[in-house]
Amino acid sequence: GAVVSQHPSRVICKSGTSVKIECRSLDFQATTMFWYRQFPKKSLMLMATSNEGSKATYEQGVEKDKFLINHASLTLSTLTVTSAHPEDSSFYICSARAHYNEQFFGPGTRLTVL
C-alpha cells in the first residue's frame, strides 16, 4: 500500500521556539493532505486541510498564525508550530490523499514543549 512518512517522529523543544513537522507521500502524489492533532487517550481532531499550491483551510478554533501549513509540492506538506508553548504538546498526524482518491495516514509526530 501507499506510504506516508512524517519527520521527525519525536521532537522536544523549548517554549517559544518554532517546530516544523514534515509529511511526505513516498510513492504517490498527494493533492490534498490533512493535519490532525491528538491529545493523550483522545480522538483525532482535524486541524486543517492542505491543498497543493493553495492556502490551507483551517478548522474552526485552529489558529492559522500559530499552525502554519505549507503544501509546496505534490509530495510534501509541512506544519510549523510557531512560538510553541507547553499546551501545544500533542501527537500530530497527517494523512495524504492519493490521486486515485484513497487516503493514507502517516505514523505521527510526538511534540513535547518544555
Partner 1 sequence: AQKITQTQPGMFVQEKEAVTLDCTYDTSDPSYGLFWYKQPSSGEMIFLIYQGSYDQQNATEGRYSLNFQKARKSANLVISASQLGDSAMYFCAMREGRNTGNQFYFGTGTSLTVIP
List % helix, strand, coil for the chain (3-state, nearest 5): 5, 55, 40
The verdict on 74 binding partner 1 (CB under 8 A) reads no
The verdict on 7 binding partner 1 (CB under 8 A) reads no
CA atoms in the 13 A half-sphere facing the CB of 25: 27
The verdict on 8 binding partner 1 (CB under 8 A) reads no
Report the residue number, 73 or 83, with the smaller CB distance to partner 1: 73
The verdict on 58 binding partner 1 (CB under 8 A) reads no
The verdict on 27 binding partner 1 (CB under 8 A) reads no
| Longest CA span, the chain | 41
Q: Write down the least CB distance from residue 38 to partner 1, Å.
A: 8
Count residues contacting partner 1 (CB under 8 A)?
A: 21
Q: Dig out the grid coordinates for 88 from the structure.
A: 501545544
Of 64, 85, 102, 114, which one interacts with partner 1 (CB under 8 A)? 102
Cell 509526530, residue? 109
Cell 490521486, residue? 99
3-state secondary structure of 83: coil
Under the rule (CB under 8 A), what is the footprint of partner 1?
Answer: 31-32, 34, 41-46, 49, 91, 93, 95, 97, 101-103, 105, 107-108, 110
